[in-house]
Amino acid sequence: MTDLTVSVVINTYNRAESLAVTLGALEQLDYPHVEVVVVNGPSTDGTEALLAGYAGRMKIDSCANRNLSESRNIGIRRASGDIVAFIDDDAYPDPGWLDALVEAFAWGEVGAAGGPTFGHTGFWYQAWHSRADRFGNFWTDMQPCTNPTQLLSFPHSKEFIYTIGTNSSFRRKLLVELGGFDEEFEYYLDETDVCCRITDAGWVIAALDTGFVFHKFLPSDIRDRRDVIRDWYQVMKSRFYFGMKHGLPSSSFAELCIQEAHFVEEIRANVVLNSEAGVHEPAVLTKFEDDVAAASNLSLGYLGHCGTKERPPAWFDNDEPFLPFATKQPEGGKLHICLLTQEYPPAPVNGIARVIHALAEGLAEEGHVVRVLTEGAEYPRVDLENGVWVHRVPAAGHPRPPGSEVPQHIWDRSASMLAEIDRMAEIRPVDVIQAPNWDSEGIAAIVDGRYPVVVGLYTPLRTVVGSDPTMERLVADGDPLLPALIDVERFTYQEAAGFLACGPAIVDEIESGYGVEFDRSRVGLVPHGLPDLTVVGPGRDGGTDDGAAMNGSLDQSVRLLFVGRLEGRKGIDTLLAAVVQLVASGDDVVLTVVGDDSLPGPGTDGLTYRQVFERDHPDLADRVRFLGRVDDDELRAQYAATDVFVAPSRFESFGLMLLEAMMFAKPVVCTDVGGMRDIVEDGTTGYRVPPDDVDALTDALHRLALSPELRTEFGTAGRKRYEESYSVGAMVDGVVTFYRTLLTVRVPT
């Protein structure tokens, strides 16, 4: 690594939302010697407010005109780095972007450098290498290929390399000597012109095979969609001007006219095609024909005076000190972590995915490079979301290893994730993969053996089957899928590099249920953590009553809340029986049930727990409300509005819903099983009762229903316990420590 300083310049206009993502991505850069310069304008959205939050951390300027080259020159003038690098406000760099660019400048003849750029999907390339001729025609390699740097780097070559604007870097001193960007190029071919002048001055343009940028290519004032331009005036004006400036010195005017006519015909065919397809309004075609005449006639004026709008070197004089931009550099160095999960926001997420979501964002906030690989649809894509690289990967068919008994759909999903990990490992070596035991999502990587795979231990399938009558019947009837999944799960327990458990209970459950014995040196015990979901606002207990208010005389009833799937393992039958007893004995309680209530119940009639209860207890319709699945805002409202949270599960590896209730300072009644006994302090933050014990559950709820003081005492203690033991930061620290320990002792395979 060199000690060259780099000024990253972003020229922005009305893209506050995407600019925020770009700035967040710059905080994840590996390269430490960087400053950021943002030239705004003339934006009318929230850009100014966004930049105000970065005051003192980066240089902020403005450009009064909608002229990209002018904005770039302002950025160069404010830059104090040895290298000036440009990235668009709808793009974000790979963390290793600047390291690759700076390394190129170690060759003293390099005047500019740029790396490959992914298109808006984040999976397919917008450009790998790019080259142009002196008329402004250009060619783009869309995948890795022979590097043209040595072939085209000589003055006045017919073709030359150029760096695309969203992934380009230049020696600042050289840009100043050449007058910066020619401001006649308001948009389009601006960086191509600079690269042509740099080449003609005897410098090398380095086309790199690394140094990646992800370009989201958002709609703008000249295009409604990522791929369809509707206003071609600036494009044609720049193209005609470029040909006059660089084509005429080495070609005839007749050849220039032929080239420009071909260019116009190609665009006209595109506009006509989109008009016929209904993409463009008829006015777009009319404007195009008018713009052809206006732009070409304007360019004829350049023949007479050959004027350019480059700046004199003195205009760029800058005595400003370099302003270091703080990047996230975790102690001990960055880890490259791949987390596998079938669910990830914005889609609804359940227990495992909630933990992975919190862990991913927590790790990224610390500065690690985090990739979440999850289910995709239609086509693969990669997006940077709250600092996390989210890879949405459609499952594709993959041949199973000879003799493998892994169900094909499990293998296809897992092998598709492994292929994506391999693709990313070519950009940056992967340190660790973490996959949940559920559905054995990491099986392909475990069998492959090239990467250390940590299996996250959650409630295992055998335990779920044992508490679900429907699944038990399937196994008894000879269904082969569940036994096969259990066998695959057992294999992961035997072969994975490490295991991450929320506590000793889940380790014991798996060892006893699967007949395996974990090497304790490869087991990390780290309690789950969740971000604080507390909503402060009008309503009961500092929360909101939205969606939670009762009707009439029940408004002051003691509110009980259950959150979870309505299945046997969650003990919903025990809770419903307890509520029947409470009401019968005169307790003024109302139960709200949140969660998927469409699952078949224990009977053979196919009825759900909800259907059976509503059939058998129509008189309690105003005492027990079933809400089904709800969104996050409604869930927060329910937690805020409840008086007592109830979790009567027959087994829980942990119990995230307990943390959520404790965030809202709610007393908890749960069963004395699994990880829940480690979370709830009996008699301090709530009560623990034996599973399947309706009378004990009824008694605990009765005591809390009678005493507002006890509810407050337990709730306050629960909130304190959450803050001290179950924050995301504590979870991240524990996980990173475990990863580093595991990687230190792991024997390479």
The CA distance from 704 to 60, in Å, is 57
Instruction: Average the pLDDT over 638-642 and give the result.
Output: 95
Which residue shows structure tokens 């053996």? 449
**More confident call, 699 vs 262:** 699
The CA distance from 11 to 18, in Å, is 12
The CA distance from 202 to 111, in Å, is 9
The CA distance from 109 to 719, in Å, is 62
Of the residues 226, 250, 285, the one at which a domain ends? 226
Q: Residue 147 above 90 pLDDT?
A: no
Give residue 605's pLDDT: 84
Q: What is the pTM of this model?
A: 0.89
Q: Residue 749 above 50 pLDDT?
A: no
Residue 33 CA, chain-centre distance (Å), reads: 26
Are 75 and 48 members of one domain?
A: yes
Q: Is 689 exposed, middle or buried (0-12, 13-18, 19+ CB in 10 A)?
A: buried
The answer to the question of residue 319 being in a domain is no
- 174, 122 Cβ separation under 8 angstroms: no
The domain that holds 162 is classified in CATH as: 3.90.550.10
Residue 547 vs residues 73, 539, 631, 683: alpha-carbon distances, Å = 55, 11, 12, 31
Which residue shows structure tokens 């862990």? 359
Of the residues 201, 226, 251, the one at which a domain ends? 226
Q: Residue 1 above 90 pLDDT?
A: no
The answer to the question of residue 79 being in a domain is yes
Q: Residue 573 above 70 pLDDT?
A: yes
Report DSSP letters for 637-676, one per residue: HHHHH-SEEEE--S--SS-HHHHHHHHTT--EEEES-TTH
Which residues, 6 or more positions from 151, have their beta carbon under 8 angstroms from its beta carbon? none
189 falls in which pLDDT band (50, 70, 90)?
Answer: very high
Taking each helix axis from N to C end, the angle separating 572-584 and 694-706, rounded to the nearest 10 degrees, works out to 50
Are 201 and 164 members of one domain?
A: yes
Give residue 552's pLDDT: 46
The answer to the question of residue 748 being in a domain is no
Give residue 150's pLDDT: 73
Residue 392 CA, chain-centre distance (Å), reads: 10
The answer to the question of residue 354 being in a domain is yes
Are 518 and 547 members of one domain?
A: no
Coil, strand or helix at 689: strand
- 678, 715 Cβ separation under 8 angstroms: no
Which segments of 168-275 are extended strands (E)?
168-171, 204-207, 213-215, 223-225, 228-229
Instruction: Average the pLDDT over 566-592 and give the result.
Output: 95
Give residue 116's pLDDT: 97
Angle at alpha carbon of residue 356, lines to 350 and 360, rounded to 5°: 145
Give residue 546's pLDDT: 42
pLDDT, tens only, 502-545: 999 999 999 999 999 999 999 999 999 999 988 544 333 443 34
Q: Residue 607 above 80 pLDDT?
A: yes
Which residues, 6 or more positions from 439, have their beta carbon under 8 angstroms from its beta carbon? 342, 410, 413, 485
Are 518 and 608 members of one domain?
A: no
The answer to the question of residue 251 being in a domain is no
Are 59 and 140 members of one domain?
A: yes
Q: Residue 291 above 90 pLDDT?
A: no
Are 511 and 592 members of one domain?
A: no
Give residue 549's pLDDT: 45
Closest CA to 183 of 291, 58, 38, 77: 77
Give residue 571's pLDDT: 94
The answer to the question of residue 421 being in a domain is yes
Bridge-based pairing state of the strands 223-225 and 125-127: unpaired
Are 569 and 517 members of one domain?
A: no
Instruction: Average the pLDDT over 304-313 and give the result.
Output: 77
The answer to the question of residue 573 being in a domain is yes
Are 591 and 707 members of one domain?
A: yes
pLDDT, tens only, 96-126: 999 999 999 999 999 999 999 999 999 999 9
Cβ burial 506-518 (10 Å sphere, 16+ → b, else e)? bbebbeebbeeeb
**What residue numbers bound the domain in which 66 lies?**
6-226
Give residue 396's pLDDT: 95
Are 607 and 485 members of one domain?
A: no
Which residues, 6 or more positions from 415, have their beta carbon under 8 angstroms from its beta carbon? 398, 444
222 falls in which pLDDT band (50, 70, 90)?
Answer: very low
Give residue 746's pLDDT: 61
Number of domains within the chain: 3
Give residue 550's pLDDT: 44
pLDDT, tens only, 78-103: 999 999 999 999 999 999 999 999 99
The domain that holds 666 is classified in CATH as: 3.40.50.2000
Angle at alpha carbon of residue 551, lines to 545 and 553, rounded to 5°: 115
User: How many C-beta atoms surround the C-beta of residue 653 within 10 A?
Assistant: 27
301 falls in which pLDDT band (50, 70, 90)?
Answer: low
Are 158 and 209 members of one domain?
A: yes
Mean confidence (pLDDT) of the chain = 91
The answer to the question of residue 326 being in a domain is no
pLDDT, tens only, 330-383: 999 999 999 999 999 998 888 889 999 999 999 999 999 999 999 998 899 999
**More confident call, 603 vs 84:** 84
Give residue 219's pLDDT: 61
pLDDT, tens only, 680-698: 999 999 999 999 999 999 9
Are 365 and 419 members of one domain?
A: yes
Are 514 and 552 members of one domain?
A: no
- 474, 466 Cβ separation under 8 angstroms: no
**More confident call, 554 vs 60:** 60
129 falls in which pLDDT band (50, 70, 90)?
Answer: very high
Of the residues 226, 247, 270, the one at which a domain ends? 226
Give residue 587's pLDDT: 95
Could you write out the three-class secondary structure of 583-595?
HHCCCCEEEEEEC
The CA distance from 493 to 487, in Å, is 10
Give residue 393's pLDDT: 97
Coil, strand or helix at 156: coil
What residue type is 415 in one-letter code? Answer: A
